[in-house]
């Protein structure tokens, strides 16, 4: 019989390998995806250059059905996606009811994220309430560059109160603006910091990692109990090293996997995310568990 210290060492190695393999097989929740509908190119021309550069323009030109999207998710091992609607001044690009069609067709695969007309506060609050209570949506998303209004603007505040009341997260874009629009509304400090100080109960999810102000987002996620980061719009192999360190150490419960589909493919993002050098628990949190907690999914 082997000495006990050798048997213990072998057990630890086997257990570590088993846990790592289990993590590799774990389904993923995508915290930020978009319906690939032709209206995006038609009503948000600012994104066309960005999508062409990423090789995703054909998907938007032809459109992707709910069933086709689920097939892509299956190929990538993605269990669920939080799929957002889009609104900008004067128009709903993808109305909440349009996204509900995806959710209704595949209720275990799509999580609805609402949009509202930011500049009409009364209507916006009523629509958010309807989206959550009637349509079953799980979050609100406002993209600041579409409105040229940072998150501390007065038009957001009634929505923050409603999000707290409904117990849903507020999702927004942080960092520079990839489309040819001003980047100032995406600065984490002072805007997200001020909102988190004013509404400490509000769960805030900053998408697109905050680059080039990623250090600011890490600081805010550490500072504020209810501030989180999602990695959408960046391939995992290009995550800033300080973000990966945060995910692997003192920020294990603070970072959510995201793709920004169709700009980036499910399969490529998922493959590279699984290849990240993360501890098993950190990887499980990043790929799935943090999204379950922030969005309060079953």
Residue among 137, 140, 138, 69 nearest 109 (CA): 69
CA-closest candidate to residue 170, choices 147, 137, 146, 145: 137
Q: Distance (Å, rounded) from C-alpha 91 to C-alpha 101?
A: 19
Nearest of 257, 248, 200 to residue 223 by alpha carbon = 200
What confidence tens digit (pLDDT) does each residue in 79-137 have? 999 999 889 998 888 899 999 999 999 999 999 999 999 999 999 999 999 999 999 99
Distance between CA atoms of 283 and 257, rounded to whole angstroms?
10
Average pLDDT, the chain: 91
CA 40 to chain centre: 18
Q: Write the CA distances from 227 to 8, 152, 176, 197, 272, integer angstroms.
A: 40, 15, 19, 11, 25
pLDDT over 60 (residue 3): no
pLDDT for 104 equals: 97
How confident is the model over 180-234, as pLDDT tens digits?
A: 899 999 999 999 999 999 999 999 999 999 999 999 999 999 999 999 999 999 9
The set of residues, in sequence order, having a beta carbon less than 8 Å from that of 279 and lying 6+ positions away, is 248, 252
Is 70 exceeded by the pLDDT of residue 18?
Answer: no
Is 10's pLDDT higher than 80?
no
Pick the CATH number of 27-295 from 3.30.56.10, 3.20.20.140, 1.10.150.120, 3.40.50.300: 3.20.20.140
Residue with the larger pLDDT of the pair 178 and 150:
150
Structure confidence by residue, pLDDT tens digits, 161-173? 999 999 999 999 9
Cβ-based neighbour number of residue 235 at 10 Å: 16
User: Per the structure block, which two tokens stand in for 142?
Assistant: 């406002």
Three-class DSSP labels, 91-144: EEEECHHHHHHHHHHCCCCEEEEECCCCCCHHHHHHHHHHHHHCCCCCEEEECH
Q: Phi/psi at 257 (nearest 5 deg)?
A: -70, 135
CB 81 within 8 A of CB 111: yes
Closest CA to 207 of 74, 58, 77, 82: 82
Cβ-proximal residues to 275 (8 Å cutoff; 6+ apart), any chain: 236, 237
Q: Which residue has the tokens 């490529």?
A: 268
Question: Domain boundaries in the chain?
Answer: 27-295
Residue 14 pLDDT level (bands cut at 50, 70, 90)? very low
Query: Which residues lie across from 171 on neighbouring strands?
Result: 141, 205
């Amino acid at each position: 019989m082997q000495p006990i210290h050798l048997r213990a060492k072998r057990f630890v190695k086997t257990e570590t390998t088993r846990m790592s393999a289990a993590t590799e097989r774990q389904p993923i929740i995508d915290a930020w995806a978009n319906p690939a509908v032709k209206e995006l190119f038609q009503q948000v021309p600012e994104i066309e250059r960005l999508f062409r550069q990423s090789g995703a323009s054909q998907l938007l030109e032809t459109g992707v059905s709910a069933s086709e999207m689920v097939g892509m998710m299956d190929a990538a091992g993605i269990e669920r996606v939080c799929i957002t609607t889009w609104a900008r001044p004067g128009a709903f690009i993808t109305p909440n009811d349009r996204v509900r069609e995806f959710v209704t067709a595949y209720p275990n695969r799509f999580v609805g994220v609402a949009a509202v007309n930011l500049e009409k506060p009364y209507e916006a609050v009523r629509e958010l309430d309807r989206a959550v209570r009637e349509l079953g949506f799980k979050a609100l998303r406002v993209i600041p560059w579409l409105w040229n209004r940072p998150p501390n603007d007065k038009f957001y505040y009634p929505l923050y109160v409603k999000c707290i009341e409904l117990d849903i997260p507020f999702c927004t874009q942080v960092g520079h603006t990839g489309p040819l629009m001003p980047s100032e509304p995406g600065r984490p400090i002072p805007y997200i910091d001020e909102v988190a100080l004013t509404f400490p109960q509000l769960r805030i999810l900053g998408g697109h990692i905050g680059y080039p102000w990623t250090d600011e987002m890490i600081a805010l996620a550490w500072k504020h109990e209810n501030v989180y980061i999602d990695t959408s719009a960046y391939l995992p192999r290009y995550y800033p090293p300080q973000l990966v360190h945060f995910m692997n150490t003192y920020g294990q419960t603070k970072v959510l996997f995201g793709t920004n589909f169709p700009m980036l493919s499910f399969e490529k993002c998922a493959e590279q995310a699984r290849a990240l050098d993360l501890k098993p628990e950190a990887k499980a949190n990043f790929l799935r568990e943090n999204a379950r907690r922030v969005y309060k999914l079953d």
